[in-house]
Chains A and B, each alone.
Chain A
């Protein structure tokens, strides 16, 4: 299989200050193969593909593309060599049409009319319905991705790299994408597919190279293994047992009733009569594909978006009309997904970042005046209790690694002893050790009698933590089911909108 491989990597290594991102990575992608790069966040997948695409240069090892040495100085050189990449985040101009966007990305764009014809041709050939004359602003996430894919396909690539392409897609759009990938593979294009979604890889990929801590730990046929096996390879044998003991569901803490809210911006999701009940000592898991209302639900609970009266009750008190500060004072705390820029101010020190949420509950702000020594002491406490690796509380938030900043952000909320804590993607992009620490802290918080809501796209995380599970789908929240005894099939149905289907059947 390695003979005649489109891409071959031999002993690739890359170090960043303090971390070995890739170490002795070797693998090969054959023509017509959909090859998965599987690994946890921080396992080194992104670094590896950035090297292939010319964004980063390897320290050691060599790459061969179609048997010739592949050392792209920049992405343009990589594209010229036949490598194309679809990024997780799109770089499109909203105000321009599909064809104009594609022309902008080309070295020598053909005349507009010819280009539109080619776009139409490619979109038809590969089953990617797309009108070249539509403005990008009117497109869905899936359609925007198609623009990026067609932009790549027009270069006739030998190797197509896709970075977590389904994280923004609905299940239907994902199916369409896989159909396209199979057509491409049938034409001998090699596809390198990055994901940590096990089921997806099992059903669609021919081969999987599994990375852990920057090293290749295994290479296998994913169809021949169970999701559990793949997960074990991905995280290694050192899965730390999590202590779920000692919790009992107590009185009702938080009640959300008929929470509806229009989409605040064009690319946001509207919430549709969301209802939930959270008891003391309980962890409620909310799963769902990204972009189904997770951010909006967190904003509605944190108070960033105010709600209709009577929709959010904490221990009987109506918090619906209150802002974030008043809700925190009442005991409803939250930690958003985006650490840098939402949960924390990147340019501010950790001390200053405590002031973002802990001013009232920790007495760091009195009558509007900042008590800086108290803030520093609290930052110090969080750093110590959550093992945040940083030179000190005066370090800027952006200087911390993702895992350490996440520990700080979660620690900042947990140490305020909330009645209810809502977290979104608490371990996203965090190394396994930090993720385990964050999860354990949430369990400990619940054991101490608080209620916790975990919103996550990581099903394993939800199954591990939550007592009850519900799915968020296009802004609708399904009825909760006990996590105990829940199968992946059932969850898949819930995530795929089975909730909506039930309604349709009634």
Chain B
């Protein structure tokens, strides 16, 4: 029988290099998969990881990198704070959707007013919506001990139904000829989240993502609250002894990650997506979980991991177009990445023995 025995000391180098190893292993396993499916593995891998940035069509796909990376990084920054404390918000996707709906609601209510306050108010509404959606699992956990993992995850599906209802009902564009979906906010200047520097893809969400990285880095390394979060994650009793109320921490972490996810949703609906549809949630909230872990729950790591995962999105689409790879390629890649990451992580903390102990 194979057993896992905890390592007494983990080499620091090994710990830091697991994300890189996981990416390499994903490329290898992905290439193998493509070979089995009858594609040329080298071309496929190059199309996914190289061509979006440096290939012939790079001028189109490169700006997409920031567009896709911004929500991932914004959401993952918040999630990582909670994960550090051992509070597992799996429902960022739901908070993202509700944030988008709340932010869009402000714009649609104000339409067609041209005032300057509209966009900032949308950002606040988006954050508040995500915060409120995150507070539901927080309060249920604090009051009844309900698992925030299950509650937050289930609330994703509730949020998706609400989005569909909004798209077909209250928020439907009155001038949309009966088509589902709200007004397009990109065509409403006071509410739009435009590309700030032409050709880069950078919109306000990118600015917010960078700020979120800096803010969470400051929180986790310089502020006592971040210290308490880290303490609670590794030694909950010591954190309580220090004066941390577990209930406060649960509310803070779920609220923070919810607010950031809600903001990401708002930036998306006011920018790249443009309108509320029943398909406003495209999985950023789930992919951000991979981003957080691939980035070692560290703000800088999350920045890099967000860019990498964004690359797989774009590369996957490119491979679909040019090589006719199936659409599920991206998910398979992301799944493999998380699998290898967790696998390598396990092996840095445990070693495999074949001895049978008591």
Q: Shortest Cβ distance from B279 into chain A, in angstroms?
A: 42
B224 at the interface (CB under 8 A from A): yes
Contact with A along B231-253 (1 / 0, CB 8 A): 10011011111110100000000
Inter-subunit contact A369/B222 (CB<8 Å): yes
Given A323-B243, A324-B242, A348-B231, does the pair A341, B224 have CB atoms closer than 8 Å? Answer: no
Q: Is the CB of B241 within 8 A of A356?
A: yes
Grouping DSSP codes into helix (H, G, I), strand (E, B) and loop, the B interface class, with mixed when no group exceeds half, is helix
Asked whether any CB of chain A lies closer than 8 Å to the CB of B46, the reply is: no
Q: A residues within 8 A CB of B237?
A: 338, 341-342
Query: Is the CB–CB distance between A370 and B223 below 8 Å?
Result: yes
Q: How many residues of B contact A (CB 8 A)?
A: 21
Q: A74-B355, A356-B242 are in contact. Are A369 and B235 (CB under 8 A)?
A: no
Given the known A-B contacts A76-B358, A370-B222, are A341 and B238 also in contact in the complex, defined by CB atoms under 8 Å?
yes
Identify whether the interface residues of A are mostly helix, strand, loop, or mixed: loop
Write the chain B residue with the least CB distance to A77: B358
B356 sits at the interface (CB 8 A):
yes
- Assuming the contacts A75-B358, A369-B224, asked whether A324 and B243 have C-beta atoms less than 8 A apart, the reply is yes
A250 to B348 alpha-carbon distance, docked (Å): 56
Among candidates B224, B241, B357, residue contacting A365 with C-beta atoms closer than 8 Å: B224
A86 at the interface (CB under 8 A from B): no
Partner of A346, one of B223, B227, B235, B243: B235
A344–B239 Cα gap in the complex (Å)?
9
Per-position 1/0 for B195-208, Cβ under 8 A of A? 00000000000000
One digit per residue, 1 when the CB lies within 8 angstroms of any chain B CB and 0 when it does not, for chain A 339-366 equals 0011111111000100111010000010
Specify which of A74, A324, A338, A369 is in contact with B357 (CB 8 Å cutoff): A74
Q: How far is the CA of A303 from the CA of B234 in the complex (A)?
A: 21
A325 CB–B CB distance under 8 Å? yes
Contacts of B351 in A (CB 8 A): none
Q: Does B225 contact A (CB under 8 A)?
A: yes
In contact, A357 and B224 (Cβ under 8 angstroms): no
Nearest Cβ in chain A — how far from B238, in angstroms?
5
Complex CA distance for A334 and B238, rounded to whole angstroms: 12
Given contacts A369-B224, A370-B222, contact A346 B357 (CB under 8 A): no
Q: List 29 A-B contacts (CB under 8 A).
A: A74-B355, A74-B356, A76-B357, A76-B358, A304-B240, A323-B245, A324-B240, A324-B241, A324-B242, A328-B243, A334-B241, A336-B241, A341-B237, A342-B237, A344-B238, A345-B238, A347-B234, A352-B227, A355-B227, A356-B231, A356-B238, A357-B242, A365-B224, A368-B224, A368-B225, A369-B222, A369-B223, A370-B222, A370-B227
Contacts A336-B241, A341-B235 known; 18 new A-B pairs at CB < 8 A: A76-B356, A76-B358, A324-B242, A325-B243, A328-B243, A334-B241, A342-B237, A342-B238, A344-B235, A345-B235, A346-B235, A348-B231, A348-B234, A355-B224, A356-B231, A356-B241, A369-B222, A370-B224
In order of increasing CB-CB distance, the 5 nearest A-B pairs are A325-B243, A75-B358, A324-B243, A345-B235, A356-B242
